[in-house]
Amino acid sequence: MFFLAGLLILPVLWLSACLHDGNSSSYCLPLNHTAAVMSANNLTSLPLSVLNRATLLHRNVEALRRYMPSVPNRAYSANPSPKNAFTYRLAAAAAGKHTAPRPPKAGQDFWNYTSTQLNRSPPYLRSSKPDSGEDAFFATTIGGSENHVAFGLADGVGGWQDSGVDPSVFSHGLCGLMAGTANIDDGLEEGNLIGPQKLLQIAYDAVIGNPRIVAGGCTASLAVASKDGSMETANLGDSGFIIVGPGKVTARSNAQTHAFNTPYQLSKVPAKIQAQHAIFGGATHFSETPAQADVEKHQLKHGDIVLFATDGVWDNLSAQDTLTIITKVMEEHGYWFKSHNFAGAETMLNESLVKSMPKVITGKMEDQYLPALLATAVMREAKLAGLDRRRDGPFAREVKLHFPQESWQGGKPDDIAVVVAIAVEDVQTTDASEKPMKAKL
Ligand SMILES: *[C@@H]1O[C@H](CO)[C@@H](O)[C@H](O)[C@H]1NC(C)=O
Ligand SMILES: *[C@@H]1O[C@H](CO)[C@@H](O)[C@H](O)[C@H]1NC(C)=O
Ligand SMILES: *[C@@H]1O[C@H](CO)[C@@H](O)[C@H](O)[C@H]1NC(C)=O
Ligand SMILES: *[C@@H]1O[C@H](CO)[C@@H](O)[C@H](O)[C@H]1NC(C)=O
Ligand SMILES: CC(=O)N[C@H]1CO[C@H](CO)[C@@H](O)[C@@H]1O
């Protein structure tokens, strides 16, 4: 995987290799993005000749970079001006609808990720079925850049079970493909950051084209956040996100629904099922496309928290409930504090504490890693709210509104997934890549 990423960084030279050596079409394979994603999942399926050729090219380009720096001016400036740049700390937490509440355990109930950790293996975070049920999630750097991340989630549409289809295959497949696609994306080299809608489209096309994913559907909600703290989101259906600054929710997504409990959804309806429905009638399968996702741009500030969750959370917790949970964690650990010692005082961010969050996660830190603390706290509260039949969550209120004859008291049992990203703005001195160059000059 790592190797292939290196190979894909240089599309221009790769293309020229394609042209010069012309006749072997297999040389050009990685240029096709869909094909590249598929082969990234199975490196051994790339012909040996391609791999050897790629190694050679990769080495030559490294050599070129070293001896022919494209921006020589910066190397001469005695004191390059420091720039601020964002990096990201992330975590996911999940609970299947049938798992009883339990103390959260790393690798089972929550997973951590940073954009700043080198040589991680596996290179990106993605959900697998037994841990999160039909809800799926992912988090990854974009093309290995510590300043750019993509993350989000998808909620498998449960109704597919009636057709004998496992709804988790679609949602986990989609998230895995988004993670893999973003992780090897080479656009940054040319200054083109892939957007969340494009990422969703590529993964969706791959799911539709994948014969192993027979049918299914899911909602999708994701973001791409970058070096300058700008973030673009794409949201389709009733999963969604909030952005939280010290003491307040600064933005939230809108749910897209056709009707009560029927979210916008991506789906794959096999011809056989379509024909059956045409003849015998039956469930209507809604089928939106990534083009119908809500796309928004947001500017993050140092310490901002972006929290994505599936409807297993939003049916149970309002944005305000979620803020209360977040506030408790942030204050308990000293990340937020009250500006003065009186009630109603403004909430402030401990900027240096946020900056000191670990860049590399080791086993011992997991319990205190802030994004994981936040994700697990929200996941657990949603789970408990769901189990608490006396609590009237948003879902229960909606049921009462639409079906007053139902004596519904609690939430509906559902899978839960939460993804948290914290933006960390830090002074960047010089690029690491400039160091060897300076040494030579
Ligand atoms: C890219 O690869 C995919 C999968 O192999 C294939 O379906 C598609 O036609 C290819 N596209 C181009 C432009 O070659
Ligand atoms: C990878 O590709 C090889 C060769 O085509 C095949 O034998 C193997 O089963 C594939 N593995 C997976 C996990 O798809
Ligand atoms: C921020 O946190 C650090 C480390 O816990 C602490 O030493 C410092 O006093 C805090 N700053 C403020 C303004 O609370
Ligand atoms: C909250 O979601 C949980 C999990 O989906 C579900 O079990 C519960 O019923 C929901 N709770 C409420 C109050 O909606
Ligand atoms: C349980 C878990 O997810 N642990 C991971 C935390 O992050 C480090 C660094 O990415 C991984 O090595 C651990 O496996």
CATH number at residue 191: 3.60.40.10
* Mean of pLDDT values over 282-294: 82
Could you tell me if 248 and 340 lie in one domain?
yes
Residue 163 has pLDDT above 80, yes or no: no
**End residue of a domain, out of 25, 42, 68:** 68
Distance between CA atoms of residues 221 and 233, nearest Å: 7
Do 148 and 22 lie in one domain? The reply is no
Does 30 lie in the same domain as 179? no
- Report CA torsion sign: 433, 435, 439, 441: positive
Nearest residue to 224 (alpha-carbon basis) of 312, 148, 162: 148
pLDDT for 296 beyond 60: yes
Tell whether 29 and 133 lie within a shared domain: no
Of all protein residues, the one whose alpha carbon is nearest to atom 3 of ligand 5 is 111
Mean pLDDT in residue range 416-431: 85
CA distance 232 to 187: 16
Same domain, 160 and 27: no
152 vs 222: CA distance, rounded Å:
4
For the CA atoms of 122, 126, 131, 132, the dihedral, rounded to the nearest 10 degrees, stands at 170
* 129 and 208 co-located in one domain: yes
Residue 79 lies in a domain: no
The DSSP call for residue 309 is E
Using most ligand atoms within 8 A of CB, pick from 115, 140, 366 the residue to mutate for ligand 5.
366
* Same domain as 290, residue 247: yes
Please tell me the predicted confidence (pLDDT) of residue 101.
75
pLDDT for the residue numbered 47: 40
Which pLDDT value is given to residue 79?
A: 52
- Amino acid (one-letter) located at 331: E
Beta-sheet strands, E only, within 29-132: 83-95, 110-114, 125-126
From 41, 68, 95, give the residue that closes a domain.
68
Regarding the beta carbon of 337 and ligand 3, being less than 6 Å apart is answered yes
Residue 76 lies in a domain: no
Contacts of 115 (CB under 8 A, 6+ apart): 87, 88, 89, 90, 141, 145, 146, 147, 148, 149
Q: Report yes or no on 438 lying in a domain.
A: no
Residue 107 counted as domain residue: yes
Does the residue 241 lie in any domain?
yes
**pTM assigned to the model:** 0.72
Residue 103 included in any domain: yes
Per-residue pLDDT at 441 exceeds 70: no
Residue 256 alpha carbon to ligand 4 centre in Å: 19
Number of domains, the chain: 2
Contact (Cβ atoms closer than 8 angstroms) between residue 194 and residue 224 = yes
Same domain, residue pair 28 and 141: no
Q: Is the pLDDT of residue 418 over 90?
A: yes
State residue 32's pLDDT score: 36
Cβ of 334 closer than 6 Å to ligand 3, yes or no, is: yes
For 234, the 3-state DSSP assignment is strand
**What b/e readout covers 109-142, taking b as 16+ CB neighbours within 10 angstroms?**
bbbbbbbbbeeeeebbbbbebebbbbbbbbbbbb
User: What is the Å distance from ligand 4's center to 333 Cα?
Assistant: 28
Is position 75 within any domain? Answer: no
Examine the domain organization and report whether 37 and 88 are in the same domain: no
Q: Are residues 153 and 9 in the same domain?
A: no
Q: Which ligand 1 atom sits nearest the alpha carbon of residue 209?
A: 7
Segment 18-54, tens digit of pLDDT: 333 333 332 322 333 443 343 333 333 334 444 344 4
33 contacts 143 by C-beta, under 8 angstroms: no
Q: Give residue for tokens 């390059």.
A: 80
Residue 393 binned pLDDT confidence (cut-offs 50, 70, 90): low
Domain that holds residue 94: 84-428
Same structural domain for residues 290 and 328? yes
Q: 300: closest CA among 370, 227, 365, 361? A: 227
Q: Give the residue, 23 or 265, on which the prediction is more confident.
A: 265
Burial 235-247 (b: 16+ CB within 10 A, else e): bbbbbbbbbbbbb
73 is a domain residue: no
Greatest CA separation for the chain: 80
Q: Pick the atom of ligand 1 nearest to 32's CA.
A: 1
**What integer pLDDT is reported at residue 394 of this predicted model?**
67
Segments in 124-265 forming alpha helices (H): 129-132, 167-183, 196-209
Q: Domain ends where: 68, 99, 125?
A: 68
Q: Given a cut of 50, is residue 375 above it in pLDDT?
A: yes
Return the closest-CA partner of residue 315 out of 406, 228, 408, 226.
408
For residues 193 and 256, membership in a common domain is answered with: yes
391 pLDDT tier (thresholds 50, 70, 90):
low
What integer best gives the mean pLDDT of the chain? Answer: 78
The answer, yes or no, to whether residue 112 has pLDDT greater than 50, is yes
How far is the centre of ligand 4, averaged over its atoms, from the C-alpha of 46 (Å)?
Answer: 45
